[in-house]
Chain A
């Protein structure tokens, strides 16, 4: 089975500090990996490393096309949510808006969204893309119970469709995840 993500011997030094070393990652279609660890251990940095936004200090990464949801919204504040998300051109945008209950908000300007609503918008952008690998940084932050349920369903559907998920979170994500603990 082909790998959607393979990282070998990954190490990262930031600000003269070794965040982690010798990290091995592999994700096959349908798999999900939960990166845990205390604050400051490099969870978010590992996600950015896999995304290709940071270069590893050592090791190599091979990955399929990926979509990222991190703490940045990356949507034009003045535009309506539907239009702002459409800029990113996800083929499954309609489906994603529905899955995260954002259809009623499609005409609302992005700057009027609440924290939880904009969190869901970030996740909807990931779902709208057809990237097989999802990279989620603290996906549960700011979500209410309904939002968490929508996310769990989106992830389950994505995995059932042969996708893979790499998520960094200090909260439990469910029992169908492999975990990778980063030491501090």
Chain B
């Protein structure tokens, strides 16, 4: 069932608007030079952080289609009847969502790094940091989607919830993209692991709570 569910998530993601977060990511990256001016040195210094802000805002876009349609249509209920645990459903949703979000974002990070003035070495650091960080962003998006499913103005509420929760990830992720990463990459990986481990339980509890 979990495999079928992951497959379904990927199919729906690709048939729907998988390109939208990526386009958004590129647009935010493209706006950065307009906002801070064409100073190449300054851009290179803040470019890594700008990429992370772009990735975070891109992660917000798909939230409304992750859980709510399946809750409203009874898919989550039928999954429960078929014996799947809510946590299992959550894991499938996270994996399925990352597959349509993470790899595309990593590809888009290449042109985006040019837009924000990163050189080759910084691009490699950014790709490694994003590869570690995007699964955690996907997990956060699914958990926040479950927490806000069925609420009025869920979209804006999800943004308010996700941004603060992503702060540790952005701090270490952006630091790992910077010139002197130090232990930032390990700390980012630790935060990402913690997020990935906790998100299925938060999501599962939120799905159960949404039924009452």
Question: Do the beta carbons of B4 and A51 come within 8 Å of each other?
Answer: no
The answer to whether A52 and B78 touch (CB under 8 A), given A73-B73, A74-B73, is no
Which residues of A in the span 49-85 have a Cβ within 8 Å of any Cβ on B?
51-55, 65-68, 70-76, 78
In chain A between 2 and 36, which residues have their CB closer than 8 angstroms to a CB of chain B? 14
Partner of A74, one of B1, B15, B77, B83: B77
Contact B81 A66 (CB under 8 A): yes
Least CB distance, A55 to chain B, in whole angstroms: 8
The residue among B4, B8, B75, B80 with the most chain A CB atoms within 10 A of its own CB is: B75
Q: Distance in Å from the Cβ of A60 to the closest Cβ of chain B?
A: 18
Please tell me which one of the listed residues B1, B75, B81 contacts residue A51 in the complex, with CB atoms under 8 A apart: B81
Please pick, from A48, A55, A88, the residue contacting B78 in the complex, using a CB distance under 8 A: A88
Alpha-carbon gap, A52 to B84, bound state (A): 12
Residues in A with CB closer than 8 Å to B4 are 87, 89
Query: Beta-carbon contacts of B58-74 to A below 8 Å, as 1s and 0s?
Result: 00000000000000111
B73 near A72: Cβ-Cβ < 8 Å: yes
Least CB distance, A44 to chain B, in whole angstroms: 12
Q: How far is the CA of A67 from the CA of B79 in the complex (A)?
A: 10
CA distance A70 to B80 in the complex (A): 14
Q: Which residues of A contact B81 (CB under 8 A)?
A: 51-53, 66-68
Q: A54-B211, A54-B212, A78-B15 are in contact. Are A73 and B74 (CB under 8 A)?
A: yes
A129–B4 Cα distance when bound, in Å, is: 16
Q: How far is the CB of A52 from chain B (nearest CB, A)?
A: 7
Contact (Cβ within 8 A) A72 B74 = yes
Q: What residues of chain B lie closer than 8 Å to A125, measured between beta carbons?
A: 78
Docked CA distance A76–B15 (Å): 12
The CA-CA distance from A169 to B64 in the complex, in Å, is: 34
Are A53 and B211 in contact, CB atoms less than 8 angstroms apart?
yes
Residue on A with the closest CB to B76?
A74
A88–B211 CA distance with the chains assembled, in angstroms: 21
Q: How far is the CA of A65 from the CA of B83 in the complex (A)?
A: 9
A8 to B128, CA, bound (A): 57
Residues B12 and A76 in contact, CB atoms below 8 Å apart: yes
Alpha-carbon gap, A53 to B76, bound state (A)? 10
Query: With contacts A54-B211, A76-B8, A76-B12 known, is A88 near B82, CB below 8 A?
Result: yes
Inter-chain CA distance A66–B80, complex, in Å, is 10
* A72 cross-chain contacts in B, Cβ below 8 A: 72-75, 77-78
Q: Considering the chains assembled together, what is the distance between the CA atoms of A48 and B74 in angstroms? A: 12
CA–CA, A14 and B211, complex, Å: 11
Q: Which residues of A contact B12 (CB under 8 A)?
A: 76
Report whether B80 and A53 are in contact in the complex, using a CB–CB cutoff of 8 Å. Answer: yes
Is there contact, CB below 8 Å, between B77 and A70? yes
Question: In the complex, which residues of chain B have a beta carbon less than 8 angstroms from the beta carbon of A74?
Answer: 73-75, 77-78
Q: Which residues of A contact B73 (CB under 8 A)?
A: 72-75
Point out which of B81, B211, B212 has the most chain A C-beta atoms below 10 A from its C-beta: B81
**Complex CA distance for A72 and B69, rounded to whole angstroms:** 11
Cα A67 to Cα B78 with chains together (Å) = 8
Closest 10 CB pairs of A and B: A72-B74, A74-B74, A74-B78, A74-B75, A68-B81, A53-B211, A74-B73, A53-B77, A72-B73, A51-B81
8 A-B residue pairings within 8 Å (CB atoms): A67-B81, A68-B78, A68-B81, A71-B74, A72-B73, A73-B74, A74-B74, A89-B1
